[in-house]
């Protein structure tokens, strides 16, 4: 079977389906925007079909095989894999169409089961321990997937010839940042959007920027001047005791809003880490380096110098504390908001315009903007009980490839940009944010409690990070050794 011909036939089927839907929309109440979205999807499909990058996909016929996906449910991120069918939302419907194309191209049936993270984790552990073949692939938060890898529940995907993480629909840099040694147990790509939702950027309130006559953050990024010092300078202008009572409450205006667990994103953005890797990709613990301590202390003296700068510390909040910074940002009294990208949807109905930029560099000498990927990012794993890893690799490649120019573009252009960010420059910023993301192994594995020690100390403005961390040096070393021993036994 000629693959290009097959794709052309599929495209023709989709075009016919679009025509039927368009005619039906005259009587089924669909809006003009929904019709335009369908046409845009069809146009993207045509372009994708002609793109030579898709020629690498192999031809296959799996005789109606039911491909079983265990999917995770997130409290903040988009995780739909198509189980809900068509909903009238462009992104949901693009995923549904992608699944239909893969089913048709490979003669398979996708079966998607959704579970919350804990039930998802238990389902994999229970089935693999029992030797039961229940799922072909699954998605869960990265630190959970890698934890199950160290328990010998997953396959090393470098041993699956049909998977090629150099293809453009995978993010090799992010995958490599989570790897210990050479095996790959967790993968990020275009087939599951929770990965993108877990990048941590800076969201800003354009009204405050304009009212205070501050520099355009977009231009600062373009000019390579978006640094910790620049952000700190802008923060000083945005703080205001609105009611004049000398008490920092929910009625006042704040420079920044973030919770402790996102504070370490500033360190990744400054291109420093507590954990390095040797030439073999093995994590190495050398204590707190001078470079790390310098970056940390700079943050203490700027972004985290005053606890009352942060809306998360505002008093007088009447609802649950986990909603505090979101409600404060929605109310228009916060300049900078630091949360995983998936949380931007909470700002969808604000009555002012927002913008998004990468986290700031350490200084202008730093070459690139670096993006922190939350350790709970959605990752793909393959259970050890998988009956045919090569078949799974082909199907995963198709799902990813058919997401690359359809699902991914609709997510970027309509969901992130059109619905939330609403300006052309925002798309350029997203490209910068997504181009250089990595996870922090210290946060993923939490060796010796590193994740909490660093984030809590930074959030609290504690300057003596060296002594804080060095007290745990032995436990950190032992924890790393334990992880390495577990993976050595798996391999």
d(CA 57, CA 308): 54
DSSP-derived pairing of the beta strands 371-373 and 354-357 = unpaired
How much is the pTM? 0.86
50: which 2 tokens?
Answer: 């002609």
pLDDT-based confidence at residue 206 (cuts at 50, 70, 90): very high
Asked whether residue 32 carries a pLDDT value surpassing 60, the answer given is no
Res. 464 pLDDT band, cuts 50 70 90: confident
DSSP-based three-state secondary structure for 75: coil
- In this model, does residue 46 exceed pLDDT 90? no
Q: Is the pLDDT of residue 361 over 50?
A: yes
pLDDT-derived band of residue 41, with 50, 70 and 90 as boundaries? very low
The mean pLDDT of 244-271, rounded to a whole number, is 95
CB atoms within 10 A of CB 460: 13
Give pLDDT, residue 412: 83
* Phi, psi of 84, deg, nearest 5: -80, -10
Among 119-123, 307-311, 346-350, the least confident range: 346-350
pLDDT for residue 419: 58
What helix, strand, coil percent values describe the chain, rounded to 5? 50, 15, 35
pLDDT above 70: percentage of residues in the chain: 88
Q: Is 478's pLDDT higher than 90? A: yes
Looking at residues 196-210, what average pLDDT do you find?
Answer: 96
Q: Exposed e or buried b for every residue in 387-418, given b needs 16+ CB within 10 A?
A: eebebbbbbbbbbbbbbbbbbbbbbbebbbbe
222-243 tens-digit pLDDT: 999 999 999 999 999 999 999 8
Query: Angle at CA 299, nearest 5°, toward 296 and 301?
Result: 115
**Separation of alpha carbons 29 and 27, rounded Å:** 6
Per residue in 84-95, pLDDT tens?
Answer: 778 888 999 999
Q: Is the pLDDT of residue 10 over 70?
A: no
* Tokens matching residue 188: 């990020």
pLDDT(279) > 90:
yes
Lowest mean pLDDT among 30-34, 190-194, 424-428, 486-490: 30-34
Question: What does the pLDDT average to over 195-218?
Answer: 96
Q: Give the DSSP letter string of 252-320.
A: SBEEEE--GGGTTHHHHHTT--SEEE-TTS-EEE----HHHHHHHHHHHTTTTS-GGGBGGG-B---S-
Range picked from 16-20, 25-29, 452-456 for highest mean pLDDT? 452-456
pLDDT digits (tens, 9 = 90+) for 394-451: 999 999 999 998 999 888 877 765 456 667 788 889 899 999 999 999 999 999 999 9
CB-based burial of residue 186 (10 Å sphere; 0-12 exposed, 13-18 middle, 19+ buried)?
buried
All structural domains of the chain, each given as residue ranges with its CATH number in brackets, are 56-197+375-422 (3.40.190.10), 199-373+428-490 (3.40.190.10)
Per-chain mean pLDDT for the chain: 88
pLDDT at position 34, please? Answer: 47
Task: Tell whether the model's pLDDT for residue 377 goes beyond 60.
Answer: yes
Rounded average pLDDT over 34-41: 45
Mean pLDDT (whole number) for 172-182? 96
Residue 50 pLDDT = 58
């Amino acid at each position: 079977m000629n693959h290009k011909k097959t794709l052309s036939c599929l495209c023709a089927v989709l075009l016919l389906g679009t025509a039927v839907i368009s005619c039906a929309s005259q009587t089924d109440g669909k809006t003009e925007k929904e019709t335009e979205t369908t046409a845009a999807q069809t146009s993207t499909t045509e372009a994708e079909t002609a793109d030579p990058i898709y020629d690498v996909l192999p031809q296959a016929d799996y005789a109606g095989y039911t491909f079983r996906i265990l999917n995770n449910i997130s409290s903040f991120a988009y995780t739909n894999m198509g189980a809900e069918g068509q909903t009238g939302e462009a992104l949901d419907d693009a995923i549904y169409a992608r699944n239909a194309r893969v089913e048709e191209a490979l003669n398979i049936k996708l079966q998607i089961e959704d579970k919350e993270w804990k039930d998802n984790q238990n389902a994999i552990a229970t089935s693999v321990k029992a030797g039961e073949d229940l799922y072909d692939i699954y998605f869960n938060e990265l630190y959970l997937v890698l934890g199950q890898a160290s328990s010998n529940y997953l396959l090393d995907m470098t041993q699956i010839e049909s998977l090629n993480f150099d293809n453009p629909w995978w993010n090799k840099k992010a995958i490599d940042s989570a790897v210990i040694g050479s095996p790959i147990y967790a993968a990020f790509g275009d087939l599951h959007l929770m990965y993108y939702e877990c990048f941590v950027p800076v969201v800003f309130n354009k009204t405050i920027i304009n009212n205070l006559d501050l520099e355009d953050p977009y231009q600062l990024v373009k000019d390579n001047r978006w640094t910790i010092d620049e952000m700190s300078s802008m923060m000083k202008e945005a703080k205001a005791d609105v009611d004049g009572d000398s008490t920092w409450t929910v009625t006042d205006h704040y420079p920044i809003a973030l919770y402790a667990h996102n504070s370490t994103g500033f360190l990744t953005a400054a291109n420093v880490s507590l954990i390095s890797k040797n030439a073999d990709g093995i994590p190495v613990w050398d204590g707190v380096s001078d470079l790390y301590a310098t970056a940390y202390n700079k943050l203490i003296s700027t972004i985290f110098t005053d606890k009352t700068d942060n809306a998360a510390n505002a008093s007088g909040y009447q609802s649950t504390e986990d909603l505090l910074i979101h409600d404060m940002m929605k109310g228009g009294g916060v300049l900078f908001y630091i949360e995983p990208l998936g949380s931007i949807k909470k700002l969808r109905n604000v009555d002012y315009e927002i913008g998004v930029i990468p986290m700031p560099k350490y200084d202008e000498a730093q070459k690139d903007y670096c993006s922190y990927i939350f350790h709970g990012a959605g990752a793909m794993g393959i259970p050890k009980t998988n009956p045919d890893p090569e078949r799974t690799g082909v199907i995963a490649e198709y799902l990813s490839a058919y997401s690359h120019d359809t699902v991914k573009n609709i997510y970027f252009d309509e969901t992130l940009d059109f619905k939330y960010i609403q300006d052309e420059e925002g798309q350029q910023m997203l490209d910068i944010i997504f181009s250089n993301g990595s996870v922090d192994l210290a946060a993923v594995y939490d060796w010796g409690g590193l994740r909490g020690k660093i984030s809590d100390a930074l959030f609290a403005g504690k300057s003596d990070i060296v002594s804080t961390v060095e007290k745990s040096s032995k436990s950190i070393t032992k924890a790393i050794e334990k992880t390495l021993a577990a993976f050595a036994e798996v391999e």
